[in-house]
A and B are shown apart, each in its own frame.
Chain A
């Protein structure tokens, strides 16, 4: 056998057949259903009176639309009555497991999938959400799909796909102290561009990746899609296997050894060919913060907007001038949450920074845990008390201020430092100005009331 990439091994194993025009029919091992595209897919199935092919391979949970503590406005209540309620009803009707608020398992699909062991190395996993790339952190082939495809998966447990090309990003060196995986991926997007990974499955590898925890790898793969990679991949290793052992849907002891033997083969063979490849030394990465309206518009914390060549529309929207320094810009909101950074390690880091300190008067600061399991752990460890004492709001799990369709949003014209993954126009609310950063940077900005480097 010729040497194969991790991607090729995963793709070929799930290939059911290829049609005359060269499209591959790929088997889908796992699917996650949100209260947005999941609800829409299930509603369409109900309208057509179609049967779900393999209900036991899906997991549904509300995350996008469910409130995290804000009072429901009438409009919000109407949305919830459709999207959240129908997901619950249709999941029950079709025999799909559903993690309701209060079940102990509800949360953002991309946090819950990993922490429950629902996502496993070597699985194909899809969801009607672009950040499904997150699950590549454990060596799953995971990608975001549209709602027509959600319905196709529900009906057939397969998808027709064009085989993507393969890219590898090799990261050598060691991350400096005070630099996190979020900084690493923002730095990469800044260097390579928001469309580097287009039409490719991108494997992240090298000593820097090997040294990261699974949760830190999840942040890398999560923002993989912000560099255009529909598929982001990291080969599973002992860190992954230790992370998965004992989780709810991980293989039971009788199957564990067989699974492990299989998973150990999930890596790129020496000499395997990629369609494109880049080698970078990540030792030079410093804390990063975005200044514009695309994640590729990013600079070193303490850096400035480019003097020339910056997109005028972006500067105008963000209320910035060419060459303007970001340090010291007043901040109105700090949001710690989203499928990029709302896991327990993120919250521990924030707690370390804000312990015994106070959020600046002008800042509305929130911590929104990624799941009920994260929330419980943070409360058990005493982190929630630290956040509350520092002046943060401590809320219920959900997408919250990242997508702003649940009542949680940044007021028009206000500036937010956010641990989420998108600084797009209007993403956190109409005319909201978003700066993306790591949880450490966001915490430091909350205390300072302005954009500032973490003290840590």
Chain B
């Protein structure tokens, strides 16, 4: 996983609520496309017409937002299916940061696992980010610092955001989580040994077909 520290880039406004992971990447294309090519299929239902041509009204088809690396989205972004391919499709398009008033919980977790930064900005802060993304038409960069937890708009406005310290460390260090958990192996074995005594019915299925 890539480590995340700071990032500068074009921000695209996508002010729709409840953009679900089926819209970010429909399941059919997800299953038939290698991970490296998923970017082409990101937002397929919004981005392409039925005949496969680009829908000109969709923001990520418009210059300069085709080069956006930041998305300013609406409420409950990434709700729905747990498919991690939704994050892979965003990454494939070049999105490193999504700014929204709220996210689907599973999608949020999948972002952390893949080095994409989900930033929660509410109310006025979200409005100004959305406006800035629209007004500047991408000609000026947004800057996002995870260590400082600040989004800086092109006009210099600083928008601080909250971020869970545990998730922050994971993103900053881009660590291999399984290797990390191996360091707690003895704690897990101790837990299991005690639980086998306390709740034998949990473990009774282990040798059942």
Chain A residues engaging chain B, CB cutoff 8 angstroms: 16-17, 19, 21-23, 25, 27, 29, 36-37, 50, 54, 56-57, 65, 75, 79, 83, 97, 118, 120, 122-123, 128-130, 144-149, 151-152, 155-158, 160, 162, 164, 194-195, 198-199, 228, 230, 248-249, 251-252, 255, 258-259, 262, 293-294, 296, 311, 313, 403-405, 412, 422, 424-427, 430-431
Interface of A, secondary structure class, is loop
Contact pick for B23, options A57, A130, A147, A426, CB 8 Å: A426
Q: Is A120 touching B202 in the complex (CB atoms < 8 A)?
A: yes
* In the complex, B109 has a CB within 8 A of chain A: yes
Neighbour of B109 across the interface among A54, A149, A412, A426, CB < 8 A: A149
Contact: A145 with B178, CB < 8 Å?
Answer: no
In the complex formed, the residue of B with least CB distance to A195 is B76
Shortest A449–chain B CB gap in Å is 27
B101-125 residues at the A interface, CB under 8 angstroms: 102-106, 109-110, 113-114
Interface majority SS (helix, strand, loop, mixed), chain B: helix
On whether A25 and B181 interact (CB within 8 A), knowing A198-B105, A228-B104, the answer reads: yes
The chain A residue sitting closest to B81, CB to CB, is A130
Mark B129-146 against chain A: 1 for CB-CB distance below 8 A, else 0. Answer: 000000000000000000
Q: For the side of the interface on B, what is the size category?
A: 35 or more
Closest A residue by C-beta to B207 = A56
Instruction: Encode B166-202 as 1/0 by CB contact (under 8 A) with A.
Output: 1111000000011001101101100110010001111
Known: A251-B201, A426-B45. A16 touches B178 (CB 8 A): no
- Residues of chain A lying within 8 A (CB to CB) of residue B208: 56, 97, 248-249
- Interface contact tally, CB-CB below 8 A: 174
- On whether the beta carbons of A57 and B206 are closer than 8 Å, the reply is yes
Q: Does B84 contact A (CB under 8 A)?
A: yes
Task: Check B165 against A22 for contact (C-beta < 8 Å).
Answer: yes
Smallest beta-carbon distance A64→chain B, Å: 8
Supposing A21-B165, A22-B166, A195-B75 touch, asked if A97 and B209 sit within 8 A by C-beta, the answer is yes
- Pair A251/B181 contact, Cβ less than 8 Å: no
**Chain B min CB distance to A292 (Å):** 9
Cβ-defined contact, B191 with A27, below 8 A:
yes
Stretch with Cβ within 8 A of A (4 or more), from B24-32, B63-71, B153-161: B24-32
In the bound assembly, the distance between CA atoms of A97 and B207 in angstroms comes to: 10
Cβ of B188 and Cβ of A156 under 8 Å apart?
A: yes
Contact of B164 among A162, A194, A228, A424 (CB under 8 A): A162
Q: How far is the CA of A98 from the CA of B105 in the complex (A)?
A: 29
Most buried by A among B75, B185, B205, B206: B205
Chain B residues near A56: list those with CB within 8 A. 205-208
Residues of B within 8 A of A412 (CB): 50
Nearest CB of A to B85, in Å? 8
Contacts of B206 in A (CB 8 A): 54, 56-57
Contact B166 A422 (CB under 8 A): no
Interface pair A199/B105, CB less than 8 Å apart: yes
A405 close to B104 (CB less than 8 A): no
A144 touches which of B26, B75, B76, B82 (Cβ 8 Å):
B82
Taking Cβ atoms with an 8 Å cutoff, the residues of B that contact A are 16-18, 20, 22-23, 26-28, 31-32, 44-45, 50, 75-76, 79-84, 87, 102-106, 109-110, 113-114, 164-169, 177-178, 181-182, 184-185, 187-188, 191-192, 195, 199-202, 204-209
Q: Which residues of A contact B164 (CB under 8 A)?
A: 21-22, 162
Contacts A27-B188, A27-B195, A427-B22; is A230 near B106 (CB within 8 Å)? Answer: yes
Whether B32 lies near A75 (C-beta < 8 A) is yes
Indicate if the CB atoms of A160 and B207 lie closer than 8 Å: no
Q: Are A29 and B113 in contact (CB under 8 A)?
A: no
Asked whether, in the complex, the Cβ of A146 is within 8 Å of the Cβ of B166, the reply is no
Q: Nearest-CB distance from A377 to chain B (Å)?
A: 22
Q: Is the CB–CB distance between B32 and A79 below 8 Å? A: yes
Q: Are A130 and B80 in contact (CB under 8 A)?
A: yes
- 12 more A-B contacts (CB under 8 A) besides A97-B209, A162-B167? A23-B167, A65-B31, A146-B109, A149-B113, A152-B177, A152-B178, A195-B104, A230-B106, A255-B200, A311-B17, A404-B27, A430-B45
A152 to B84, CA, bound (A): 14
Question: Nearest chain B CB to A240's CB is how many angstroms away?
Answer: 15
10 nearest A-B residue pairs (beta carbon): A56-B206, A23-B166, A251-B201, A21-B166, A146-B84, A195-B76, A146-B110, A230-B105, A148-B113, A424-B22
